[in-house]
A and B are shown apart, each in its own frame.
Chain A
Amino acid sequence: MAAAVQEPVAPTFGDIDRSVLRVMEMPGLVYWIWVGFCFALVGIGAALWTRQIYEGLGVTGLRQPVMWAVYITNFVFWVGIAHSGTLISAILFLFRTRWRTAVYRAAETMTLFAVATAGLFPMIHLGRVWNLYWLLPYPNQRYLQPNFRSPLVWDAFAVSTYLTISALFLFMGLIPDVANAREHATGWRRTFYATLALGWRGTDEQWRHFSMAYLLLAGLATPLVLSVHSVVSWDFAMAQLPGWHSTIFAPYFVAGAIFSGVAMVITLLVPMRRWLHIEDLLTPWHFDNLAKVVLLTSLVVTYSYSVETFMAWYSGDKIEQMTFYMRYFGPWGWLFWVMVLCNCLIPLLLFSPRIRVNLTALWIISLFVNVGMWTERFVIIAGSLATNFNPSQWAFFRPSITEIMITAGSFGWFLGLFSLFARFLPIVSMTELKEGIVWLRKSLRKDYSRVA
Chain B
Amino acid sequence: MSSEPQIVGTAIQGRTGQVPAVAGGAFKALLVVLVLLGIVGFGLGLASGQADRAWQAYLVNLLVWLGIAQGGVVLSAAFYLTQGRWLGTTQYRLAEAFVGFIPLGFILFWGLYFGRTLIFPWVLHPIPQKAAWLNTPFLFARDGLGLALMTVLSLALVRLSRGPQAAAWQRDSADIEMPPREMRRTAVALAILFAVVYSLIAFDLVMSLAPQWHSTLFGWYFFGGAFWSAIVATAVSAVVLRARLGAHNAFRNPTVLHDLGKLVFAFSIFWVYLVFSQYIVIWYGNIPVETFFIVHRVYHMPWEAISYAVVILMWVAPFLVLLGVRPKKSPAILGTIACGGLVGVWLERYLLVVPSLSPRAIPFGWVQLLVTLGFLGAFVLCSLPGLNLTAAAALAEPWEEHE
Contacts and interface: CB of A to CB of B under 8 A. Distances in A.
Given a CB threshold of 8 Å, the question of whether A touches B is answered with: yes
Interface of A: 95, 97-99, 223, 226, 230, 234, 237-240, 245-251, 285, 299, 303-304, 307-308, 310-311, 313-317, 438-439, 442-443, 446, 452
Contact of A247 (B82, B175, B181, B215): B215
B192 A316 contact: no
Contact of B133 (A223, A250, A314, A442): A314
Given A245-B281, A251-B273, A251-B277, 8 more contacts: A226-B273, A238-B284, A240-B285, A245-B285, A247-B218, A248-B220, A250-B273, A307-B220
Contact of B216 (A97, A308, A317): A308
B214 A315 contact: yes
Contact of A442 (B130, B175, B274, B280): B175
B278 interface: yes
A136 B80 CA distance: 48
A230 B214 CA distance: 20
Contacts of B203: 310, 314
Contacts of B181: 452
A450 to B, nearest CB: 13
A237 B282 CA distance: 9
Contacts of A98: 176
Nearest to A98: B176
The B interface is mostly helix, strand or loop, or mixed, namely helix
A234 B214 CA distance: 18
A308 B289 CA distance: 17
Given A247-B278, A299-B192, A314-B130, A307 B285 contact: no
A311 B216 CA distance: 6
B355 to A, nearest CB: 19
Nearest to B175: A442
B287 interface: yes
A289 to B, nearest CB: 10
Contacts of A230: 273, 277
Nearest to B286: A240
A246 B216 contact: yes
Interface string B190-208: 0010011001000100000
A443 B176 contact: yes
B287 A247 contact: no
A98 B284 CA distance: 42
5 contacts: A223-B269, A246-B217, A285-B176, A303-B196, A313-B133
B82 A248 contact: no
Contacts of B130: 314, 316
Contacts of B216: 246-248, 304, 307-308, 311
Which 7 A-B pairs have CB atoms at the shortest separation, nearest pair first? A248-B216, A247-B217, A316-B129, A250-B277, A248-B217, A238-B284, A247-B278
B261 interface: no
Most interface-central of A226, A311, A314, A316 (chain B CB within 10 A): A314
B281 A237 contact: yes
B176 A307 contact: no
Contacts of B196: 303
B223 to A, nearest CB: 11
B268 to A, nearest CB: 12
A314 B214 contact: yes
A310 B133 CA distance: 10
Contacts of B289: 317
Interface residues of B, number: 33
B37 to A, nearest CB: 39
Contacts of A304: 216
Contacts of A97: 82
Contacts of B82: 95, 97
B258 to A, nearest CB: 13
Contacts of B273: 226, 230, 250-251
B88 interface: no
Contacts of A250: 217, 273, 277, 281
A162 to B, nearest CB: 17
Nearest to B274: A251
Contacts of B287: 240, 245
Nearest to B215: A247
Nearest to A318: B129
A246 B281 contact: yes
Contacts of B374: none
B219 interface: yes
Nearest to A310: B203
Nearest to A95: B82
A397 B277 CA distance: 30
A234 to B, nearest CB: 7
A101 to B, nearest CB: 12
Given A234-B280, A247-B215, A442 B195 contact: no
Interface in B208-229: 214-220
Most interface-central of B130, B280, B282 (chain A CB within 10 A): B280
Most interface-central of B82, B174, B273 (chain A CB within 10 A): B273
Contacts of A99: 176
Contacts of B174: 438
A396 to B, nearest CB: 25
Contacts of B199: 303, 307
A452 B203 CA distance: 38
A238 B129 contact: no
A104 to B, nearest CB: 17
Nearest to B184: A452
Contacts of B214: 311, 314-315
Contacts of A299: 192
B281 A307 contact: no
Given A226-B273, A299-B192, A249 B281 contact: yes
A237 B214 CA distance: 15
Contact of A439 (B127, B176, B274, B278): B176
A238 B281 contact: yes
A239 B281 CA distance: 8
Given A226-B273, A443-B176, A251 B217 contact: yes
A85 B215 CA distance: 30
Nearest to A295: B188
A226 B287 CA distance: 26
Most interface-central of B129, B203, B278 (chain A CB within 10 A): B129
Nearest to A99: B176
A223 B199 CA distance: 24
Contacts of B282: 247
Interface in B63-89: 82
B285 A238 contact: yes
Contacts of B285: 238-240, 245
A344 to B, nearest CB: 13
A314 B133 CA distance: 8
Contacts of A452: 181
B224 to A, nearest CB: 9
A251 B273 CA distance: 9
A226 B181 CA distance: 32
